Structure 1
Amino acid sequence: MSSKHYTSFLYALCFLLSISQVKANVTLPAVFSNHMVLQQNAEVKIWGWAKSGEEVTVTPSWNHKPVKTKASNLAEWEVILQTPAAGGPYTVEIKGYNTIKIEDVLLGEVWLCAGQSNMEWTARAGIEHAEREVPLASYPSIRFFSVSHRTADTPQLSLDGQWVVCTPESMIDFSAVGYFFGRKVHQTLQVPVGLINSSWGGTPAEAWVSKETIEENKILAEDAANLQEVPWGPVKTAKIYNAMIAPLVPYRLAGVLWYQGESNTGSPANYAELLPALIQNWRTRWNQAFPFYYVQIAPYQYDVPQQGVLLRDAQRRVLQKTENTGMVVVSDIGNKDDIHPRNKSDVGQRLADLALHKAYGKQELPASGPLYRSMKVEGNKVRLYFDYAGKGLVAKGNELTNFEIAGADQQFVKASAKIQGSTIVVQAKQVKKPVAVRFAWSNTAEPNLFNAEGLPASSFRTEAEPVSLK
């Protein structure tokens, strides 16, 4: 028996022994509770534990059709319910030896919000316009589930937390980015929104993926082995995944929001492999190719030159290799002296616009700022082409800034840049035969290139291969 199955067996045995003391009561994970939101128009799984062989019947009030199953030899049971379009409130009754009735259940859009401190950041910790936003946060159809901080050496079956209704009292301690995202989606689609926040400040991505995922990649495994312990959060491979992600599987999601990367700036080149590995790991575990939208880290004065911009470029490159992803750029709303920018409203709303555009077909909303696509050498000039620039490019201020150009010697010099429609032409007198261009290539760059929709361009470089910090 593998260690994974042995661990599952031990947990199931514990559940079986505990329920035998109370005549085999049916039990549920914490994620199934009053006020929960289930994904609309989907096959959703409801699962739990009971005595081996015990019959369990699950009846949702939206169709009053009972679904029956029996607990397995591991004391586990699972049913699949087909949910209709958004609505509620409903009830879900689970009946075995005992009966559990989950009340005030809504059907809508369910998003997982994960990452480190900028995702975890709350209005209580300090956000722009908190004095205005908090009192207005009364949305009965928005629900929050906050996963408690825990670590584990092996994948767990349960976690702590409960669903609560969005009120000023609950919003103030929930992910601010998640809240502003959920509010925009709710107001635009006019459907309930469920937000699951599983985030922990100061944590690297390695802690958020399964052990097997890291071990399968020699480079990632070596990098993970060199992570140094820190006082503010766990860093070891899978420690958080096991306790704060695995127990949520397979709760049906509409998608994932990810705001993380600051704790991986020490090894930015590997992040271009690590983040796609995390995305694939989660999609495989959920058996869902769900949308995965993330925030590019903001400008900040990191200790090592290029540390931050290399991580940002790795995040940009993930878009090119991983399907059904999207990235929000926040270079215009960061704070280079504070790694926790307080403008969380625009971050959440940009994530919402991205999701509404790509996942929900709201093409009138802007999905992204300009993203570098390709270049063409024209004599001593380089013409740059961009995605998300169809309506044109804009320089906020007098002239474009933060462009550099290099010849074959790869010695970059400051360049002039001119907008021509949806392209940019770059040149410098010192470079007669250009081969490469880079943009906003510093940790603290706050460039002024935007698209006509008002979203900032991502930093980029045209070189194909990552640049090492060494």
Structure 2
Amino acid sequence: MPSVFSDHMVLQQQDDVKIWGWASPHEKITIAPSWTNETYKTEASNLASWQIKIKTPKYGGPYTISIKGYNEVVLKDVLIGEVWLCSGQSNMEMSASWGIDNGEEEIAKANYDNIRFFTSPKMAANSEQNNIISSWEICTSESMKYASSAAYFFAKKLQQTMKDVPVGLMVSAWGGTPIEIWTPENIIKKDTVLLNAANKLTPVSYGPIKPGKAFNTMINPLIGYKIAGALWYQGESNVGSDVYDENLAALITSWRKLWGYNFPFYFVQIAPYNYGENHFGGVIIRDAQRKAANQIKNSGMVVISDVSPIDDIHPKDKKAVGFRLANLALKNHYHLINDLVESPSVSELHLDKNKAVISFNHADGLYANSKKSMFEISGDDYVFYPAKMKIKNNTIIISSKKVKYPKSIRFAWGNNVQSNLFNKANLPLSSFIIEK
């Protein structure tokens, strides 16, 4: 069987989950899970492979699963719970061993039998692979130290609300990689816009840049393994792209199609960082992520500009990141909380003579933590001038004496600019640029 089916694994609860493997052609196989008296039978194809769906109960365990043909494989310590795929580049990969806030304290108390990790090694290939050589691990101080911190804190927060429900984290992440390598190659190649952007990527020494290279090895072998949803933390390696929102939409759509259902997809907006003074490459990616979150159904984005120093491309507060992602899942997917867990987001721009009025969603208690306005305004010439702002309920009124007829508004528009506007949940407004 593929190594994603190993001792200590977590299967999605109350679902029809697919398991699969290899056997001699027409070998008869019997699957017997210990949570039921029912057995499942299938037969290997003439291509020496087999697959079957089995019903899982409500969360719990540990269980065993016996898979018997000419030989027998017994999977032990199997838990039933919630499974999340966690992918991206170094900020998803980043473990406590890299140095996170309160790292030693967190490592010491990270013994949770109900949290399990399946971490993919970094591998690339020109064609789709069918196995990842790894295994499920129980969350202990030792395993957590080298596992994804963002994923770990996501699971920890889920369990604070969901109590005894096991959480399985399948982590496929590779530092320094662009989004193109995580997208199926055929998706990029058949889209002229995405292919042109991919062809502009500059080779690097620490990973591949060609479309599909990590998808083939680190995502494709997992397709079919039932997941509750996906977490994504990536974008820094695409700074310079002006089509990242299209890239992200293509990745999400392709993954959902391959899995066969529209699972929730929650992602982290990259943090402010000085990518260079002579361009807006970083903030353009943040704005593209904002637009993608607005356009893609059953998705959500967390903004982290308030917990990220502008001089560190690897923010060390991964607890805030994981908790914010978990809050989106707890509210929008599990419907277990009804708190304000989203950052404010732009909903509408209305022009009133020499003023611009911006309305927001999730903006209850909107406030600024400094007197400085981070808004700029332009007319048809797109020459931007600093603008005054006035907060009125959940709207902001923008104006400048230098712009008689507003056309475009931008906020916190700089690679390393941190937002100073928050809602009552103390979640920051994303940088943005909009026009009427």
- Scaled by the length of structure 1, the TM-score of the pair is 0.91
Moved more, 270-279 or 424-433: 424-433
Aligned residues between the structures: 434
**Residue-by-residue CA offset, 1:359-382 (whole Å, 9 max, x unaligned):** 111343333110111111122211
**Residue-by-residue CA offset, 1:9-29 (whole Å, 9 max, x unaligned):** xxxxxxxxxxxxxxxxxxx10
Matched, 1:449 2:421: yes
Q: Which residue number corresponds to residue 21 of structure 1?
A: none
Q: Which residue number corresponds to residue 270 of structure 1?
A: 243
Deviation at 1:129, TM superposition (A): 0.6
Cα pair 2:377 2:384 within 8 Å, conserved: yes
The correspondence of residues 177-256 of structure 1 with structure 2, limited to 5 A, is 177-190=150-163, 191-256=165-230
> Where does the alignment leave 5 or more consecutive residues of structure 2 unmatched?
none
The correspondence of residues 111-122 of structure 1 with structure 2, limited to 5 A, is 111-122=84-95
> Where does the alignment leave 5 or more consecutive residues of structure 1 unmatched?
1-27, 465-470
Q: Which residue number corresponds to residue 406 of structure 2?
A: 434
Cα pair 1:29 1:159 within 8 Å, conserved: yes
Q: Which residue number corresponds to residue 431 of structure 2?
A: 459
Deviation at 1:215, TM superposition (A): 1.0
The correspondence of residues 328-367 of structure 1 with structure 2, limited to 5 A, is 328-367=302-341
Q: Which residue number corresponds to residue 158 of structure 1?
A: 131
Deviation at 1:463, TM superposition (A): 2.7
**Which of 31, 54, 73 matches 1:58?**
31
Q: Which residue number corresponds to residue 369 of structure 1?
A: 343
Separation in 1 of the partners of 2:230 and 2:18?
Answer: 18
SS in 2 for 1:134: helix
Q: Which residue number corresponds to residue 126 of structure 1?
A: 99
SS in 2 for 1:332: helix
**Residue-by-residue CA offset, 1:327-371 (whole Å, 9 max, x unaligned):** 010111112111111111101111111111111113433331101
Matched, 1:321 2:295: yes
Separation in 2 of the partners of 1:201 and 1:173?
Answer: 14
**Which of 137, 158, 163 matches 2:110?**
137
The correspondence of residues 87-98 of structure 1 with structure 2, limited to 5 A, is 87-98=60-71
Separation in 1 of the partners of 2:57 and 2:202?
Answer: 48
**Which of 22, 26, 42 matches 1:69?**
42
- Which letter maps to 2:139? C
Q: Which residue number corresponds to residue 393 of structure 2?
A: 421
Deviation at 1:444, TM superposition (A): 0.7
Deviation at 1:430, TM superposition (A): 1.5
Q: Which residue number corresponds to residue 380 of structure 1?
A: 354
- Which letter maps to 2:153? F
SS in 1 for 2:320: helix
Deviation at 1:432, TM superposition (A): 1.9
Separation in 2 of the partners of 1:163 and 1:235?
Answer: 28
Deviation at 1:431, TM superposition (A): 1.6
Separation in 1 of the partners of 2:316 and 2:75?
Answer: 37
Deviation at 1:400, TM superposition (A): 5.1
- Which letter maps to 1:154? S
RMSD over aligned CA atoms reads 1.1
- Identity percentage of aligned residues: 48
Deviation at 1:114, TM superposition (A): 0.2
- Which letter maps to 1:437? I
Separation in 2 of the partners of 1:53 and 1:131?
Answer: 53
- Scaled by the length of structure 2, the TM-score of the pair is 0.98
SS in 1 for 2:315: coil
**Residue-by-residue CA offset, 1:50-105 (whole Å, 9 max, x unaligned):** 00000011111111211100000111101101111111111111010111111111
Separation in 2 of the partners of 1:463 and 1:178?
Answer: 36
